[in-house]
A and B are shown apart, each in its own frame.
Chain A
Amino acid sequence: MRKNRRLPWRDAWFIWFFLGVVMLNYPFLSIFNKDILIFDIPLMLLYFFIGWPVSILVIYLFSIYLGRKGQVDTTAENGTERTG
């Protein structure tokens, strides 16, 4: 109903993408680029191997949203009022 208050998910991918680019580059990376082991794992690797699944999760949620949106759009096309 109050369309303009809905999170513009459609364009959110770009925000995530941009965030990903930032988090995968200097200077952000330099935060983790330290010669220390945490739980016997190098910090840099730990960052990558935790950040990576998190970003996959984000894409997963995004794809779930896309799936739902597809269904909502279909019902909207069928004449049901969209109540997003």
Chain B
Amino acid sequence: MIPVAVVTIVSLLYFGLLFAVAYYADWRKQQGRSLVDNPTVYTLSLAIYCTSWTYYGSVGRAASTGIDFLAIYLGPTLIAFSWWFLLRKIVRVSKEQKIVSIADFISSRYGQSAKLGAVVTIFAVLGIMPYIALQLKAVARTFDLLSFPLDSVGAAFHTLPNTDLNFDTAFAVTLILSLFGVLFGARTLDASERHEGLVAAIALESLVKVVAFVTVGLFVTYGIFDGFGDIFRSFVETFPERRDLLRLDTPGNSYIHWFSMTFIAMMAVMFLPRQFHVMVIENCREEHIRKAMWGFPAYLFVINLFVIPIAFGGLLHFDGDTRLADYFVLTMPLQQGHAWLALFVFIGGFSAAAGMVMISSVALATMILNHLIMPVILKVNPGSRSLSGLLINLKRLAIFTVIFLGYLYYRLLGETAALVNIGLISFVAASQFAPALIGGLYWRRATRRGAMVGLIAGFVLWFYTLIVPSFVQSGWLPGNLVEQGLFGLALLKPTALFGLAGFDIWSHALFWTMFGNIGSFVALSLVTEPDTDENRQVGKFVDVYQKREEPTQKTRISRAPSIVEFVELMAKFIGEKQAHAAIAGYVGEREINAHGSLSEQEVPKLKHFTELTLAGSVGSAPARIIVENYLAARGSHMEDVFDIFGSVSISRSASREQLGVLYETARVIASGNDLQLILDEILQLFTDQFKFDLCVIRILDEERQTLTVRSHHGMTSEHFGESERNLSMETFIGEAFLTNQIAVVNDSDFINKPKTKEIIHREGILSFAHAPITIEGESIGVLSAFSRSAKGIFTEEFTELFKSLAGLVGIAWRNAEQTNRLITAREQQRELAIAKDIQLGLLPSRIPAVPNVSLAGICLPAKDVGGDYYDILLHDNGRLDLVVADVSGHNIGAALIMAETRSMLRSRSQIDIRPVQLLAELNQVLYEDLTRAELFITMFYVQYEPSSGRALYASAGHSPPVLYRAASKDCILLDAEGLIIGVKRDFPYEGQQISLDTGDVLLLYTDGIIEASNDKGEFFGEQRLMGLVMENHRLGAQEMIEVIIQQVRLFSGHHHFQDDVSLVVMQIETPETAI
């Protein structure tokens, strides 16, 4: 016996050490040098699988029923083969989804179902309660064994030495373990789901327990006995009747039982809440699994190596008495007088029990808080005050509750069952999570209803086939329930359900629970359809290794909260410090718009981030409820974004749809229709394709500097009446035009432009967008689209498309403008051609033959049309009239004026009228027309009477003709005062007269000759012309014209003249030359 005080003090000192280690690990984590981020620590933490059940129970089991206990450790070794694929996948999913417990994992997979989370939690608590009871029992028993006389061990109460106090060891142990559970697992409310301090303590405990167990093993094997061979040989010789303990296929150890145990252990090592917690939630890196895959089985191997030697050694030592076989590890050193070894073993056992209780209680408390308490709080709490303080206290309370439930179970049932049996009940319970969890991880078709019904069926059967018999065994329920079945129906016997007899209780329970569980899960999954929430989650689990594209944003938040509001929400649950740290990390990577808030597309992402952050603390299903309740409370809600692309799913096929619309628009533009028709058709297309209620195209009216409607679809008359927009930032349309950027309003409830607000609300518009219509980067108008039926139409994706469509409208406009210009140009060309025809038609078709006068005339129009005119009229009286005129303007109007002039000249010249009169009359008659047409005419008119040789002439501002005087062999210019026709109505022209002699040459011309310029900008000029006339006066009239034209061309260096060129040459010939 060791004094109570010593045992207590050593235990407390040991716990002090554990706490120091935990504290150190937490400190290291804060320093960024994690102690736990290490595969060895991870492997040791998994060894929490070996509880006091292993530590004490295995020996008891080996001593009483044989080697079947090995299945509990061989099963995990087998399943470890799959860890790199199965466990790693679970870890990957959990890290990505910030899963905090097995209940969280299952509920998350099936659409973050709160109900499923609650069901898993309730079953987990019920299933683990016996296991915790087992630990309490083991610690209490071993404490008693060390401190009290052997005969009083197991009594409910002990009287403490020297006091009258009744002492309930189990209660004390419960209290201490609860306290440590709180200290390790719920010291602070952590936003992270990981507890490094706790894991470090667990790893140390695992080390202590294996060292203690191996020490006592070596002590028994080599201290008391002479090695393994000695023990087995002695055992076989001493207890030949118990040789069955060394084999399978014995009455208590069938192969089926062995298989069931292996299977149960395989499931339990993965899905017991505490195993799931250390393996998955507390995992630092997936890479650690690689070492744990062999390290953990190796640990199991080592700790089991001495189980049978100790068990058989104990049997040999205690003469085959198995009543205290569970505690051989402790009693043997005690009996041998090695109290300190016994104390060390006790500490090892305490480690095994305490570690399990702490992790289990923390894992279960998290589940209770997240899946049972939180939904209630969220319903009751008005949402105004901070919950972080309340939550941490509730978590502490939950830890106490879980451990005390275990104590209760122990007090009510624990004494009647062996350690191993209690543990196996929990193992079978944990196996019930396997179908929903593994199925959910690999089977897409698995549905929430399948998982729910499977779990419930499994647990009901578990309760009926395992718990009910244990209640009967403890006398809680009448014994005939097991013997005769429920209601006396043999088919309902809990241990031979539906007549399935001949199995041990574990195989029987395993069969029925798995049958009910897997059967319901598969069947219901096949007949039910997953809902939207489940569909959203399934890929995150089944395809976790595949690179998943974030689904294109299909929802938006109306009245979205700001960043600050999201932070406040998080702070309520995880405390301000944590919330600020989280948001700083998040916002750092995001783009924030000019208003300091997140863009519309970012808000749902922030919501998701808030959910994930909260999930790290409260689990994913509650986190979702929290965020959604919060949004609902402030009037915000998630809205499905109106699926602008119709029934085609928005992600991959969207680009095809977009292309389709763009193609259609381009096709309309290319149709070559009238612009108005094109614009109307484009708007019709938008309205049809995207179900817009109103589409408008406004184009800048440059004169009035307003944007006026060029085409619209769906505009009310009232709206149309005020549809013009000034170029100002007061309206979104003006803003889009001026800034040349698209203006999008996805929720018309939030408009900051009063003028727009009024119209938009009156028209019942919910969302709209204005895209500038540009030509070569310059705004020429605005394309607008409005919806009365949905907010949030303009997703990032659609905004891009809308911009492209506005671009196409711009192209349509440019095309139309170019076409117009082309048409104008063609019309002008045709007009010029007509004018040219008229002009050429006005020129004399033949030169009259006049005796002794050589005549020639030419008119060379410049490129297009000329305004020159010349005429040679021979009258019956022998008079010869020469006229050269130049009408300003090069169009039909000018040509018509010329025609009018010609008609008048021709009619008036018939009578005897002098040039000066003729010009004056012309001026009078044509003045009105010329003024109106903004034209004028220069003209030179000569009347020559061959009989007298007299020439009368007058000029209306025309270039003076050149006259070669044969007599003096020089040239003069004939000039006469006269204003251009069409400038002043009544103008007295000056008439002149000159007598022409033989050999004289008169050259009339228009300014195209003398104003012809060369490259140096010099004019041909009158002097050169006169020189030419002098040189060539002997040539005939026609030849002289040819020479002059040629020389002018040579001078200017161009074949074409810049202006019209007209020449009329009259050469007075001698009578001889005429013959």
User: A residues near B, CB below 8 A?
Assistant: 13-14, 16-17, 20-21, 24-26, 29-30, 33-35, 37, 39-42, 44-45, 48-49, 52-53, 55-57, 59-60, 62-63, 66-67, 70
Contact = CB atoms under 8 A, between A and B. Distances in A.
Given A24-B78, A29-B258, A39 B229 contact: yes
Nearest to B79: A17
Contact of A59 (B81, B249, B259, B305): B81
B107 to A, nearest CB: 29
A37 B233 contact: yes
- The A interface, classified by DSSP as helix, strand, loop or mixed, is helix
Contacts of B287: 70
Contact of B255 (A17, A25, A39, A66): A25
Nearest to B74: A24
A63 B232 contact: no
B297 A56 contact: yes
A39 B82 CA distance: 34
Contacts of A30: 249, 255
A42 B232 contact: yes
Given A20-B81, A35-B246, A66-B84, A40 B294 contact: no
Interface residues of B, number: 37
Given A24-B71, A49-B301, A56-B77, 18 more contacts: A13-B84, A17-B78, A17-B79, A20-B78, A21-B78, A24-B74, A24-B258, A40-B232, A40-B233, A44-B67, A45-B67, A45-B246, A52-B297, A56-B294, A56-B297, A56-B298, A63-B290, A66-B84
Nearest to A18: B81
B67 A59 contact: no
B664 to A, nearest CB: 43
Contacts of B258: 24-26, 29
B236 interface: yes
B293 interface: yes
A25 B287 CA distance: 31
B297 A13 contact: no
B291 A63 contact: yes
Given A40-B229, A40-B233, A63-B291, A55 B247 contact: no
B81 A13 contact: yes
B248 A66 contact: no
Contacts of B308: 45
A67 B77 contact: no
Given A26-B255, A26-B259, A67-B290, A33 B74 contact: no
B248 A44 contact: yes
Nearest to A57: B294
B435 to A, nearest CB: 18
A33 B232 contact: no
B547 to A, nearest CB: 13
Contacts of B124: none
B70 interface: yes
Contact of B294 (A14, A21, A35, A63): A63
A51 B77 CA distance: 11
B255 A52 contact: no
6 contacts: A20-B77, A25-B259, A29-B255, A33-B248, A55-B77, A59-B77
B228 interface: yes
Contacts of B236: 37
A3 to B, nearest CB: 20
A56 B76 CA distance: 11
Given A17-B82, A52-B74, A59 B294 contact: yes
Interface in B350-371: none
B800 interface: no
B81 A40 contact: no
B85 interface: yes
Nearest to A17: B81
Nearest to A59: B294
Contacts of A62: 81, 84, 293
Nearest to A25: B259
Interface in B64-110: 67, 70-71, 74, 77-82, 84-85
Nearest to B78: A20
B711 to A, nearest CB: 55
A71 to B, nearest CB: 12
Nearest to B71: A24
Nearest to A30: B249
B243 interface: yes
Given A35-B243, A45-B67, A13 B294 contact: no
B531 interface: no
A45 to B, nearest CB: 7
Contacts of A53: 298, 301
A40 B247 contact: no
B67 A48 contact: yes
* Chain A to chain B: the 10 pairs with minimum beta-carbon distance, closest first: A40-B229, A26-B255, A42-B246, A17-B81, A60-B294, A59-B294, A63-B290, A20-B78, A13-B81, A56-B297
A48 B246 CA distance: 11
B262 interface: yes
Contact of B247 (A14, A42, A56): A42
Interface in B292-306: 293-294, 297-298, 301, 305
Interface string B198-231: 0000000000000000000000000000001110
Contacts of B247: 33-35, 42, 44
Interface string B1021-1044: 000000000000000000000000
Interface in B227-257: 228-230, 232-233, 236, 243, 246-249, 255
Contacts of B291: 63
B290 A66 contact: yes
Nearest to B84: A66
A16 B294 CA distance: 14
B312 to A, nearest CB: 10
A4 to B, nearest CB: 21
Nearest to A34: B247
Interface in B421-456: none
Contacts of B228: 40-41
Nearest to B77: A55
A19 to B, nearest CB: 9
A78 B287 CA distance: 20
Contacts of B249: 26, 29-30, 33
